[in-house]
Amino acid sequence: MQPLSDLLVLDFSTLLPGPLASLFLAEAGARIVRIERPEGEDMRRFPPRLGETSAPFAVLNRGKTSLAIDLKAPDAMQCLRPWIEKADILIEQFRPGVMERLGFGHVALRAINPRLIYCSISGYGQEGPRALEAGHDINYQAIGGLLGQSLKQGEPAPLPPPLVADIAGGAMPAVLNILLALRERDRAGQGCHLDIAMADAMPTFAWYGLAQGQASGRYPQGGEGLLTGGSPRYGLYETADGWFLAVGALEEKFWTTFCAVIGLEEGLRDDRHQPEATRAGVAALIAAKPAEHWRRTLEPRDCCCTVVRTLDEALADPHLTARGLLDRQAEEPGGRRIVSTPLPLAPVFRDAAPALRAVPPVGDETL
């Protein structure tokens, strides 16, 4: 018996944050019924294609079912009421006010099912000056001060690859708060409304800068923080073949080993005095040899130095296979299979059954 196997989740969400949150719940045993418009949600049409299905949709929605309904139809509430009555959790990701206008707001559904845990995921929350603003991941990172931690005026601005706001600000806080709400419901017998704002989590990632600013009276500017470019011990260094070495040798024992292996001159090893000179010395040494050289010489020394992997190299790493991160597969209606989104879920909570589960066609669930 999985921990969530007795729970029914109605997932009204689209795109990434909500579907990823419900995928976590599904992997822990919950039954997920996606509520989609008759033509299916937008991500079903996202490229690239996997047979008959969108690959991005497939990796997020394995093992769920789909219920197709026009929420604007006059009988929409009548059709969905039996599902609402027995549901434990509802996830929605519309702009604030949309579910209320459709007749499916928290107050209306609480009257039908007082035990329902109603989780709203939005960019800026249900209330506040920005509540109705449009946005995407990069906007929430920008407004929350996270992007500004590593950008320097006058220097090229790399686009951050992780969708930090969508995943760590939307999906994961949703799962965390849903689990807390389930615990509270066990004690009090009532559901609640969870207001998850993706932008709210962005200052969490600036925790070190917040501490520095309050202690010193000056918040670090772009590139000044210990973990955002201010220390030669933590950063990316270009190799002779144009690739990169990730250095995280913060502690003295790691830094000492690192300096010895690369041959940094003694006068530059104390980076407290002239950190930029130390950085320049390290950069010159790393740039003198190709990435494979540093892979062979630094990685075995256990000094927090790693050659950056491309995604295909990372997927071929034996550690990922050993951890079972690529075991879960989704099968689209045409029969093709794809590795599902890897989730950091403890194996003890996963289904022991075969890892292959289907991607839902539109409307495979019946009203």
Q: And the tokens for 265? A: 């001159």
- Is 166 a known active-site residue? yes
How do 31-36 and 337-339 pair as beta strands? Answer: unpaired
Cα 117 to the center of its chain, rounded Å: 22
Residues 6+ apart with CB under 8 A from 339: 59, 326, 328, 329, 330
Residue 200 DSSP SS3 = helix
Of 69, 71, 54, give the one whose Cα is nearest residue 19: 54
Alpha helices in the chain (DSSP H): 17-27, 55-60, 76-86, 98-102, 106-112, 137-143, 164, 172-188, 202-205, 207-216, 252-262, 275-286, 291-297, 311-315, 318-322
Going by the DSSP 8-state scheme, the letter that residue 44 receives in this structure is G
Catalytic residue chosen out of the listed positions 6, 42, 136, 317: 136
Please calculate the CA angle 2-89-201 and round it to the nearest 5 degrees: 95
Residue 337 DSSP SS3 = strand
Please calculate the CA angle 351-62-5 and round it to the nearest 5 degrees: 35
The residue written with tokens 């990372």 in the block is 314
- Is 136 a known active-site residue? yes
Instruction: Assess contact for 202 and 145: CB atoms under 8 A.
Output: yes
How do 8-11 and 89-92 pair as beta strands? Answer: parallel
Catalytic residue chosen out of the listed positions 166, 195, 200, 271: 166
Instruction: Assess contact for 4 and 154: CB atoms under 8 A.
Output: no
Active site residues: 136, 166
